[in-house]
Structure 1
C-alpha cells in the first residue's frame, strides 16, 4: 500500500510541476484529445491507463506504453482540448489504494 501511495504522490507532484513549467508553452502543446491520443499511440505506443476528475471542467489522463518505456500526462478540458503537461520514461504501474478499514 505504501508503494502505491508513493507512486500516486510522485505522479501528483509531476503533474503539478509540469503544469507550472508548461504554462507559457501550453498553447503550442494543445490539440484535440482524439488527435493527441492517436499521435501518442502511433509514435510511442501509449494508451490510456488511468485518469481522474480535477475539476468539473478538467480531467487528467495518464497514457503509457505497454512495456512502461514511456508515459504522458494530459489535461483535457470539457471542449475536448488536450494539453500535454508532463511526459517521461520508465513508467511503473501502481494499484489503487484499498478502501479504509481493509487490509492492503
Structure 2
C-alpha cells in the first residue's frame, strides 16, 4: 500500500508537529478533538493548522521519512512547508 502521508501541523506557539498516517483528515480531527487518540504533544496547543500533507509511499518509507523530518532543524521544516525544499530531496537522503 503506497498511500501513506507525512503531515505537519502548526501549533499556536509556532512549533511544528510531524506525523504519518493513511488518512490525514481523520488524524487531524483526532488531534483537534484533544482526546485519547490525539497526540499528547498537541494537547493544549490549539488552534492547530495543517500546513503540509505529502504522499510518501508505503509504511516503511513513511516511517523513515518521518524520522528524518523530525530530526530536521525548525528552519528546514519551515522551508519544507514553504515548498523551498522538496520531499524528494529528503527521501533521497534516506
TM-score, with structure 1 as normaliser: 0.24
